[in-house]
Structure 1
């Protein structure tokens, strides 16, 4: 098979996947097979994105008055002509349609205007699920602020701070992207999480496919069960394994720790409460902790640390709790 034939074959496969994923009958097994196909070659991903773009362009043009009028003129011309003449005029008909499509898309398309964003915010200790108008579900973690900017051509969400899980609704005519600091996440129908603290960004993929861009425009494609960091300068790191149990826990109000430092646990727990749990000796922060902790229950956390790790707790002025080493 020559190079052109191979490219045509991949393009045909990509068109098949666009139609299959768009179908209401699409099942999890279909998506798993699609992800396997994507993983076989970078050319598959490029072909899929191009085919999805063409599909979205066609959908956008479907209702255009100029294009419909050109199609009607072409059909009338075809019906009134003899067959031999029809065969000779088919290229002209195609050219007419192409010109009409070009005029509709480039000449008559409304000039984009800035889109007013809709802000969604959670306070300290609050978690909330928001369903956007395209069916996308956003689970906002504590102290999180995002802004959704949707228009007729695109869907964008800007993560200004905090942590969000996205379960993206299908809308081939409007690509979905998340902007967080210097990072941009482009989605292909999936479930993923974005954390932004300062200008550092972390992206974790639970299901589907996402592409992560940095300020340098390097692009990394993630597979389910992978995570990646985008540094404040915009550099994209290497994909790394994701703790999927922990990632699935926080949207349900649970912090799942497996042999992680106590200091890290307290840092996470303190994000959800005005009552701070602190360490009398920073060396205690190296203690390794495993367990499932309810993120809104500092009292239960302290009781577990007293019982399981023999730490002693005392309340100090202002209501904070200080953990001290075991007695004797």
Structure 2
């Protein structure tokens, strides 16, 4: 993922109250000669994620995309994909796979990964890392910094020719392509539809998977890219204005949640009942769907990466730091 640092502004406010009998004003006590006054240290940002019980796991080189597939945790790192123990983070399996350029998805009892160098989609068995299929793509290339979507009658991705590409998960072959607007960036499947972000027009497209045609073009924030689907909504990360847009299954915009300044890279996921954002500056932001508000922010400032979550834990990576953190949720 192409990432750069995003700085969140933290405002420290103090309140004072009046008193009917204020204390008299006194002169400050003089310090002994040669004594240097102690500096006041102000908070520099959100607390480190370790303070919430997270454990840091070193993954080199450049741990990035994350997914939880059939209870197994997978990350893209260096020349392949690495399986991590869901309880300890220890390495359990490795599958060589070069040129991973898309956010993973999970569906049809498989992990799906896009390799731009070929171009091809790889289907991986989550428990063992065995390659179930390598599906060559008869297209000019894969749209990088996007995602693969597994669900709603197929496996889907976006080509550099601005096409929606469908793979049949039974035959493991491409069965159709459909035109998309220039600027189409990422795709996810859920709630009976396909959802495609269009960065150039600040829109989210709702697409019928039965006969892939645009049913609605929904205005969201500035430069939308990554997105995730919960049990009742689509959550879109808008990179240029640092916000998340919540969209109902019928296409209605329900809310816009400000999370900070401009994001480059980053990622977003739903799991454990919450929405999680890797914002490319801070390490992790937690959004509560019950209130559509940010409920927690964690450091350290580590550059961009990816995020995945289930009921047991949230996993967040920072590829510039060669690290993944596991934050238990229970």
- For Structure 1 versus Structure 2, the TM-score category normalised by the shorter chain is under 0.3
Richer in strand (by share)? 2
Report which of the two structures shows the higher radius of gyration computed on alpha carbons: 1
Larger RCO (CA under 8 A, 6+ residues apart): 2
Richer in helix (by share)? 1
